[in-house]
Amino acid sequence: MRLGQYEIEHPLALGPMAGVTDWAFRTICAELGATITVTEMVSSRALVYKDKKSAALLRKNEGSLCGAQIFGNDPQIMAEGARLALEISGCEFLDINMGCPMPKIANSGDGCGLMRTPELAEKIVSAVVKAVDVPVTVKCRLGWDKGSINVLDFTKRMEDAGAAMITVHGRTRSMLYSGVADWDMITKVKSQLSVPVIANGDIWKPEDAVRILQHTKADMAMIGRGCFGNPWLFQQ
């Protein structure tokens, strides 16, 4: 799989998780086999307003391709935030969070809230792509709830806007982290896109990573909560 100029051979990525994937944890996971890591999400507005605490979250780890992840819902501020995030971190790619289900994020129109406004999400990706010279990637969910699963249209819009890779968590926003991830929908996303797709959701043991790749035909598997306290999962 290729992401921009980078060739990626080992198909395991570490999911970005607020309060978890700090520099130390990402460094350990990279050493144990995560070939892609992503920082904790950082507010684009906080970066533009020069918040030092937010900037500190963007420390790049060694040993993997590392992406800086930002969130927000204003195209111009996201574009400026993306430039600042890369300037601060030196990361190889820029990831846009369109999947966070937490109420204080999603209910403000950020994170997974953007799946309710696909036209705005498209403008954000387009603005960020024009603003930076590294690959821009997107992480999203299946939709807001089971009555509004729009991931197929949404991810096609992201690809058309210039996203170089898309990660899909197989749950809706309303599910948060409950229930079972829908790998079948990730399969449908993969079948319609030409950019690489990363499958995310319910990888708890080594065999799950193999199964999700076989099931979805995705390019990579992203491990999130499954490696809490167990970064050796990547090695296994």
Asked about 100 being catalytic, the answer comes back as: yes
Helices (H), the chain: 23-31, 44-48, 52-56, 75-89, 103-106, 118-131, 151-161, 183-192, 206-216, 232-235
> How many Cβ atoms sit within 10 Å of the Cβ of residue 108?
13
Q: Are 222 and 10 in contact (CB under 8 A)?
A: no
Element (H, E) at 200: strand 197-200
d(CA 216, CA 169): 12
Q: Are 132 and 94 in contact (CB under 8 A)?
A: yes
Q: Look at residue 53 and give its three-state secondary structure.
A: helix
Q: Are 124 and 131 in contact (CB under 8 A)?
A: no
Given the residues 29, 66, 91, 100, the one annotated as active site: 100
Q: Are 199 and 183 in contact (CB under 8 A)?
A: yes
Per the document, the length of the chain is: 236
Q: Are 193 and 204 in contact (CB under 8 A)?
A: no
Residue 230 in tokens: 């167990």
Looking at the annotation, which residues are catalytic? 100
